[in-house]
Amino acid sequence: MEDCIRIVQEHYDSDVQYEWDRLERHPFEFEITTKMMDRHIKPGDKILDIGGGPGRYSIYYAQRGCDVTLVDLSTENVKFALEKAKELNAKINAVSCDAREVSKFITGEFDHIFVMGPMYHLLEEDDRIKALNEAISLLKDRGMIYVSFILMFSGMIFGMKNSPEMLLFENEEVFIDAVLKGKSYAGDAFTKAFFIDQKCIIPFMNRFNLKKKHLFGQESILAPCELNLLNQTQIVTDKWIDIAEQLCEREEFLSYSEHAMYIGQKI
């Protein structure tokens, strides 16, 4: 497992700007996700962003008057986030550490905790459970937690959009077989990564002392046709985003997204 953690850390350390730019290349994820999160987060709230990368969500909420602490495995992500926050006149705290050991580095209680990265890269279920227990231990009673997953079908969406020939690659056979069998997948991808079958999210999250508020696709219905929609006029794109927000919690459309978020309240 430690080799896996090192590989993931090196992946994100190697090109922080690329990861920062990701949500500009794929803006629907950020727009729909923040629309859903904004329903619960208000100025003055205290936020812990675990696995927050170079700080897109941390800075967004700091600019809206929240007290934000960013935690990330990548030291380069943390350094970049602090510099970018200063550049954008936003104040955040930030520290580099493993999501499985957050309570060794962070104290206090938070109104909201984001776990929007660790579930992508912790390949063993015991490690995913440990990371979420760590997060929940720092959450206030009745506080809100926001947990993101990469969905299994995201790999197929990516292939159809960007690399249709991937179905012919021998190294993709294990992943495609998991899709066909309705299983989750943990292993080699863009780095070491965990892709979850959507039907497994609620049973997994039911392990914890949480009340489900939302489960939604972070791109809603937009991911498969993202490239076409981004080439439309702003008025057309805005209308699609509006419809997508209204559909993002519909279970039958969840596989249209590449990422899913569970929002729960500590009980």
Alpha carbon separation from 18 to 11, 22, 53, 196, 213 (Å, rounded): 11, 6, 11, 24, 32
Asked if pLDDT for residue 7 goes beyond 70, the answer is: yes
Strand partners for 72: 96
> What are the boundaries of each domain within the chain?
2-266
* Mean pLDDT to the nearest integer, 203-225: 98
Topology (CATH) of 2-266: Rossmann fold (3.40.50)
Supply the pLDDT for residue 123. 97
* Mean pLDDT to the nearest integer, 152-173: 95
d(CA 73, CA 5): 9
Asked if pLDDT for residue 2 goes beyond 80, the answer is: no
Asked if pLDDT for residue 162 goes beyond 70, the answer is: yes
Supply the pLDDT for residue 3. 86
> pTM of this prediction?
0.97
d(CA 35, CA 245): 8
Supply the pLDDT for residue 253. 98
State the greatest distance between any 2 C-alpha atoms of the chain, in Å, as a whole number.
Answer: 52
Classify residue 214 by burial, with Cβ atoms within 10 Å: 0-12, 13-18, 19+: middle
* Mean pLDDT to the nearest integer, 111-139: 98
Supply the pLDDT for residue 1. 67
